[in-house]
Structure 1
Amino acid sequence: MSISPNSQYSLCFALSLLGIFNSLIFSEATTLELIHRDSPLSPVYDPSLTHAHRLRNALHHSLDRVNSFKHANRTKTPLQTYGGIYFMKYSIGTPPFEVVGIADTGSDLIWTQCRPCIRCYKQTPPIFDPSKSKSYHTLPCKSSFCSSRYVESPGCSKGTCQYYYDYFDNSHTAGNLATETITIGNENPVTTSKTVFGCAHDSAGTFPSFASGLIGLGRGKLSLLSQLGIRKLSYCLTPSIKNTSKIVLGEDAVVSGAEVVRTPLATDSSKYRITLETLSVGIKRIEFEKDVMEGNMAVDSGTTFTFLPPALYNGLVAALDKTIRYPRVVDPHGVLKHCYDIGEPEKIIFPIITAHFKGGDVKLKPINTFFWVTDHVVCLSMLPSEVGFFGNIAQLNFWVGYDLEASTVSFKPADCTS
């Protein structure tokens, strides 16, 4: 199977969820449009960024994500300020006040900057003032949510529950844990009351100025999905920035059909973790040197590239070198590790790499495994790491479904541009 630099998705993958809802009936299904962050349609589009800049940014964000999971046993929270690759517009308070949050599948807490600011990072949109909302209520210290089971570093001040999150890049957010009315959607909006969120009065670090905070879309009790009672979601990520991607929420978001592969979610993790047993290049099966750990791969929309255990990565590139008969070269951008100089890109035939997950095999096409960094240089879009991630390049042109009731992740090949 062949791909070319012009036909492949050539910009680093980072989507923006604009919150375009036709209707929100979670007992059925709701389809949302996803717009690529580097698309001219994106409100944060920066035409001055080069391909090399976007590639380096994607790697830095991915490595931050990997490091956050690698050190999750420390006292700092395993979140990253740029971990989520979607951003979402919604309204908070009564009357509704529009805010923009970075949606993060790797975390749970919803938080937004609030007035008065003891210390706030520079935020372009107006900052939410809870004193002007009729529906804002702080949570007391005795609340069941004021617990380390739900938030990092809970505290108490004058009877009000407080939270503090410290990030690995030395960013932080702190404030009051509260409840508020949240309104989602522009047309036929849905309003939910008494939604628990963090009202941040002290936030600093590398948070982007276009965002008011984060929206947790993880598996925990305080995530937006859990609080809205959403148990199923699926998305189809397009390889082209000229087309919008789709995400579906609700009971009809099940991925089904003859080509569906289902793999169980790890039972002992609050993250979306699945088990990769091995890989194949063509018919060459690569075996792990040691026993496979359950939940060794995180399916995380915040990570661009796929990260593999070093032994498996080394076996993969060795098998590729036996199949791809082109000179090895260094990535001119210094990002990816295993690259080839393709003299005639239109003639290259890439091997199929199969991911053997617990419960089924997912055949990855070249668009999922190789990344053109120049017109003639193509690199494997996978990197070695002690912490495994199934990145979003690997998820392009698949319907990926999360069923939290059945505790499974599903993959189905698709043309996400149609």
Structure 2
Amino acid sequence: MVSLQCQLCATCYNDTGPMFDPSYSKTYKNLPCSSTTCQLVKGTTCSSDKRKNCEYTQNYKDGSHSQGDLSVETLTLGSTNGSFVTFPRTVIGCIRNTNLSFDTTGIVGLGSGPMSLISQLSSSIGGKFSYCLAPTSIMSSKLNLGDVAVVSGDGVVSTPIVLRHGQTFYYLTLEAFSVGNKRIEFGSSSFGSSGKGNIIIDSATTFTLLPHDVYSKLESAVVDVVKLERVVDPLKQFKLCYKSTFVKLDIPVIVAHFNGADIKLNAINTFIVAGDGVVCLAFLPSQTGAIFGNLAQQNFLVGYDLQKKIISFKPTDCTKQ
């Protein structure tokens, strides 16, 4: 779902742009809790006042949440020919309370749930979208919808999408990681499976999360080949850190072996600056599930074709997109 911080938000984060003010819109409408749309969205309740509007709560994997009014609004998007395309009565969330801390105006949901932007525009975009995440917070990243989202050309690799009933996530099948000549099988993990759909690909989760045993083997493989001084993470979040800068960081490529697609991950995909002269492995052990996060996807043009059920990756300088 597309969620926007709205005026009169009780608890919201500071963003760089003005908050959306529904009172200035002639096409904005709150949805009643009796509406079919309200029934379709998980985590909805009825407002306690006489309006009986539909209110929603969204909980995210990292423990953050947002709450607000479920509404409809006309969405306007730019097109490749320079004109604008409108989508009336697009379901959005008008955020009234959140503990999110993004420096943005809102959130765009790209999952497979019925109210995600992709699902709501499915008849217009043919189930195709792509994004290219730039490795810097000072630049915007690009989202493509429809035929312009097709990823093609030299260097493209593709892997099947696995969709699970009742789930809004996109699952991929990860077979192994390679660090130098060492291969770490993913199917050997305690909850990773050698079967189909064993890891979520998520553009909203920053770090890549792995089962404890797979993470431990990957960390050991990195330690074996990186000859830098180890230090303690000043953020107390990461397990493997080195005294270095990105300029001087000398580490091998880590390859993620998906079903039919080998993704070569460079330093910007696998390490993060955690402090002055400190870089840390941007993978974390998890007890709840495996996620291929957005750091690992930086500088790739990542294309989703939900009709063909494939995701394609193309190494790209996303700062030039």
Say yes or no: TM over 0.5: yes
Q: 1:285 to 1:165 in 2, by over 3 A?
A: same
After TM superposition, the structure 1 = structure 2 runs for residues 388-407 of structure 1, keeping only pairs within 5 Å, are 388-407=290-309
Is the 1:278–1:357 Cα contact (8 Å) retained in structure 2?
Answer: yes
Q: 1:181 to 1:401 in 2, by over 3 A?
A: same
In 1: Cα distance, 2:151 partner to 2:217 partner? 32
The answer to whether residue 11 in structure 2 is matched with residue 121 in structure 1 is yes
After TM superposition, the structure 1 = structure 2 runs for residues 147-186 of structure 1, keeping only pairs within 5 Å, are 147=39, 149-155=40-46, 162-165=54-57, 167=59, 172-175=66-69, 177-185=70-78
1:58-105 Cα shifts (integer Å, max 9, x gaps)? xxxxxxxxxxxxxxxxxxxxxxxxxxxxxxxxxxxxxxxxxxxxxxxx
Q: 1:413 to 1:159 in 2, by over 3 A?
A: same
Gapped regions of structure 2 (runs ≥ 5): none
CA shift at 1:110, angstroms? Answer: 4.0
SS at match of 2:44: coil
Q: 1:188 to 1:314 in 2, by over 3 A?
A: same
CA shift at 1:281, angstroms? Answer: 0.9
Q: 1:127 to 1:310 in 2, by over 3 A?
A: same
Q: State, as a whole percentage, how many aligned pairs show the same letter.
A: 41
After TM superposition, the structure 1 = structure 2 runs for residues 187-226 of structure 1, keeping only pairs within 5 Å, are 188-199=83-94, 203-207=96-100, 214-226=107-119
In 2: Cα distance, 1:209 partner to 1:247 partner? 18
- Give the structure 2 partner of residue 336 of structure 1: 238
In 2: Cα distance, 1:266 partner to 1:252 partner? 23
Gapped regions of structure 1 (runs ≥ 5): 1-107
SS at match of 1:145: helix
- Give the structure 2 partner of residue 272 of structure 1: 170
Q: What TM-score do you get using the length of structure 1 for normalisation?
A: 0.61
Q: What TM-score do you get using the length of structure 2 for normalisation?
A: 0.78
Is the 2:30–2:54 Cα contact (8 Å) retained in structure 1?
Answer: no
Is the 1:110–1:222 Cα contact (8 Å) retained in structure 2?
Answer: no
SS at match of 1:412: strand
Please give the root-mean-square deviation of Cα atoms over the aligned residues, in Å.
3.5
1:150-177 Cα shifts (integer Å, max 9, x gaps)? 34234488796513316476855243x4
Is the 2:198–2:290 Cα contact (8 Å) retained in structure 1?
Answer: yes
After TM superposition, the structure 1 = structure 2 runs for residues 367-378 of structure 1, keeping only pairs within 5 Å, are 367-373=268-274, 376-378=277-279
After TM superposition, the structure 1 = structure 2 runs for residues 212-361 of structure 1, keeping only pairs within 5 Å, are 214-229=107-122, 230=125, 231-240=127-136, 245-268=141-164, 269-287=167-185, 288-290=188-190, 291-292=193-194, 294-341=196-243, 346=248, 349-361=250-262
1:17-66 Cα shifts (integer Å, max 9, x gaps)? xxxxxxxxxxxxxxxxxxxxxxxxxxxxxxxxxxxxxxxxxxxxxxxxxx
SS at match of 1:417: helix
Is the 2:6–2:19 Cα contact (8 Å) retained in structure 1?
Answer: no
SS at match of 1:331: coil
CA shift at 1:189, angstroms? Answer: 3.0
Is the 1:166–1:172 Cα contact (8 Å) retained in structure 2?
Answer: yes
1:146 to 38, 41, 60: 38
SS at match of 1:383: strand
CA shift at 1:310, angstroms? Answer: 0.9
Q: 1:134 to 1:328 in 2, by over 3 A?
A: closer
1:273-324 Cα shifts (integer Å, max 9, x gaps)? 2222221111211122453364332222222222211111111111222222
Is the 1:402–1:408 Cα contact (8 Å) retained in structure 2?
Answer: yes
After TM superposition, the structure 1 = structure 2 runs for residues 88-103 of structure 1, keeping only pairs within 5 Å, are none
Q: 1:305 to 1:326 in 2, by over 3 A?
A: same
Q: For structure 1, which segment, 375-384 or 249-258, has the greater mean C-alpha deviation from structure 2 after superposition?
A: 375-384
Is the 1:113–1:213 Cα contact (8 Å) retained in structure 2?
Answer: no
